[in-house]
Amino acid sequence: MAVLVEPGRIELREEVRAAPRAGELLVRVRAALTDGTDLKTYRRGHPQMPTPTRFGHEFSGDVAAVGEGVSEFASGDPVMCVHTAPCRACFWCAQAEEELCERLMSTMVLGAYADYVTLPRAVVEQNCFHKPAGISYREAAFLEPLSCVVHSVEMVRQRGSVAIVGDGAFGLLHALVLRERGIDAILVGRRAERLESARSYGFDPVDARATDAAAAVRERTGGRGADAVIECTGTQSAWEETPSLVRRGGTVSLFGGLAAGSRVAFDAARLHYDEVRVVSPFHFTPRAVRSARNLLVERRIDVTPLITHAYPLHEIADAFARLDAGEGMKACIEP
């Protein structure tokens, strides 16, 4: 199992494989993806994950052992899941705002960069599914990031025209989910390699290094600006830039989280006199997980080109070193 000993240093350690308790599943990991949160944690640590910590949270695999009382799954079953599940008892769960469940973060599963991972009862009962043979373990591992994106897209109600700031994996996943719903999003990016992969998906991205992004978006939206703009970079400068791309009365969605304590500045007149709505989607609900599962299982979107590198577990340090150097989009660790 891979342990992030301190920012920038990953070590492989022997894992003690515990038998699953009642309601739990032990899963042999087959594919575990990297995402922006993992890279941020690798670079500077994470408040929810004090080091040394296991990490990795986007994965799929095979059931290796079944806890007492689990009837839905058997040893050997290929499964796909997300790493959290709501408690179904708190104030937020009662409002169907399960993404804000007060127990979500304290019960999440971390440590997918390992041979085995244990799923708690809540995940087994609510957010774990059989993986059909028609999709690969790599595709199945997209269930978690795709659930975030489905939740995000559902928080934006106005979407005649949508601009997406950020050409990374989350930007592209947003564009793919929107396209599946009949909306051709305007992707705004600044990295040659990523703009190229957006083009290979058939998008016509705005290269913000070469053109004024706000002017380019206005030009493609009848001079008004986009109905909605979704920020997918998690940088302060992009947050602050986002309102300049939206039309009067449109929606700004701040999807990419910033570190606690970050401050951002917006032009108050733009927000108030132009009635710009601001939403800030976080995480996902079990409903979003189900929609994301259907998108993958019915192969309505093709996620595999987002994986640019694959490594065995013992090369995980190289995987993060390359991502840290700005290479590639998502790496797949295959223990």
**Footprint of Zn ion on 265-304 (CB under 5 A):** none
- Residue 142 or 203: the one with the smaller Cβ distance to Zn ion is 142
Question: Does residue 101 bind Zn ion (CB under 5 A)?
Answer: yes
Find the shortest distance in angstroms from Cβ 203 to Zn ion.
22
Which window, 130-138, 144-152, 174-182, 312-320, contacts Zn ion (CB under 5 A)?
A: 144-152
- How many residues are recorded in the chain? 335
Find the shortest distance in angstroms from Cβ 144 to Zn ion.
5
How far apart are the two ends of the chain, measured CA to CA in Å?
Answer: 9
Q: How many CA atoms lie within 13 A of 241 on its CB side?
A: 21
Which window, 16-24, 140-148, 150-158, 308-316, contacts Zn ion (CB under 5 A)?
A: 140-148
Residue 180: Cβ within 10 Å count: 12
User: Strand ranges (DSSP E) for the chain?
Assistant: 2-6, 9-12, 25-33, 53-54, 58-66, 78-81, 116-119, 128-130, 162-165, 186-189, 206-207, 226-231, 246-254, 277-279, 307-312, 330-334
**Footprint of Zn ion on 179-218 (CB under 5 A):** none
Find the shortest distance in angstroms from Cβ 37 to Zn ion.
6
Each residue 74-93 as x (binds Zn ion by CB under 5 A) or -, in order, gives: ------------xx--x--x
Question: Does residue 310 bind Zn ion (CB under 5 A)?
Answer: no
Which window, 70-78, 125-133, 145-153, 236-244, contacts Zn ion (CB under 5 A)?
A: 145-153
Quote the CA–CA distance of 131 and 81 in Å, as a whole number.
9
Please report, as ranges, the residues that interact with Zn ion according to CB under 5 A: 35, 58, 86-87, 90, 93, 101, 144-145
